[in-house]
């Protein structure tokens, strides 16, 4: 079984930069922290998905594919291979790796699993591959889980794991937990 962990990076993620911090640098710091968490997972192959953000090769470890996509809805279709995949929003620099592991575990009983985001949408979305054709992936829809469950052709096809937060606007910086390990690049930029 091949598991893929893809970090999705979009230009709008720079909107979370606090005053006095360069938005492009902030975007890259968040993306790198999220990618390093994904790349550090055992038995998972990392991928970076760029939806219009140049220069992401600079944060990738050697051998990590950096793929360009037109929009976040193309994320799962762009995954090069694998039997299971998770797409992680690049604006979750302090996401605990355990939450990604729980999504993969839930794929044993569901076709899609979601790590819901505070305020709506998803932090991460996992699926058996290829992504089910009855579902349309999304990350910023307020009622994503409800929509996916309505689209499912049967019960128990969409599971949820514990939720987390994303950095979507400067006020969300307060959600970062200084006691959590990781997110070193974002932490250094904010210091």
In tens, the pLDDT along 154-175 reads: 999 999 999 999 999 999 999 9
Q: Are 114 and 159 a contacting pair, CB within 8 Å?
A: yes
- In which band, very low, low, confident or very high, does the pLDDT at 80 lie, cut at 50, 70 and 90? confident
Whole-angstrom Cα distance, residue 21 to residue 163? 27
Q: Is the pTM of this model over 0.75?
A: yes
Is the pLDDT assigned to residue 1 strictly greater than 80?
no
Determine the average pLDDT of the residues in 169-182.
92
Is the pLDDT assigned to residue 91 strictly greater than 90?
yes
Q: Return the percentage of the chain with pLDDT > 90, whole number.
A: 89
Q: Are 80 and 47 a contacting pair, CB within 8 Å?
A: yes
The confidence score (pLDDT) of residue 151 equals: 94
Determine the average pLDDT of the residues in 35-59.
96
The pLDDT tens digits of the residues spanning 103-153 come to 999 999 999 999 999 989 999 999 999 999 999 878 888 899 999 999 999
- In which band, very low, low, confident or very high, does the pLDDT at 51 lie, cut at 50, 70 and 90? very high
The confidence score (pLDDT) of residue 191 equals: 87
Q: Are 84 and 1 a contacting pair, CB within 8 Å?
A: yes
Sequence spans of domains, the chain: 3-181+183-187
The pLDDT tens digits of the residues spanning 21-37 come to 999 999 999 999 999 99
Which residue is listed with tokens 């976040």? 72
Mean pLDDT of the chain: 95
The confidence score (pLDDT) of residue 22 equals: 97
Question: What CATH architecture applies to the domain 3-181+183-187?
Answer: Alpha-Beta Complex (3.90)
Question: 64-100: b or e for each residue (b if 16 or more CB lie within 10 Å)?
Answer: bbbbebeebeebbebbeebebbbbbbbbbbbbbbebb
């Amino acid at each position: 079984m091949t598991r893929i962990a893809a970090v999705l990076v979009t230009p709008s993620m720079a909107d979370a930069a606090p005053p006095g911090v360069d938005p492009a640098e902030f975007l890259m710091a968040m993306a790198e922290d999220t990618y390093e968490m994904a790349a550090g997972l055992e038995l998972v192959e990392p991928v970076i998905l760029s939806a219009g953000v140049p220069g992401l090769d600079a944060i990738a470890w050697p051998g990590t594919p950096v793929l360009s996509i037109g929009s976040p809805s193309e994320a799962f279709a762009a995954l090069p291979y694998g039997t299971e995949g998770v797409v992680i929003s690049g604006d979750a620099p302090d996401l605990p790796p355990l939450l990604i592991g729980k999504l993969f575990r839930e794929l044993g009983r569901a076709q899609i699993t979601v790590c819901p985001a505070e305020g709506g949408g998803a932090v991460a979305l996992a699926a058996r591959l290829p992504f089910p054709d009855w579902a349309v992936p999304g990350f910023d829809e307020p009622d994503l889980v409800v929509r996916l469950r309505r689209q499912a052709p049967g019960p128990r096809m969409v599971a949820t794991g514990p939720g987390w937060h994303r950095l979507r606007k400067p006020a969300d910086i307060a959600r970062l937990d200084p006691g959590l390990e990781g997110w070193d690049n974002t932490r250094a930029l904010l210091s």
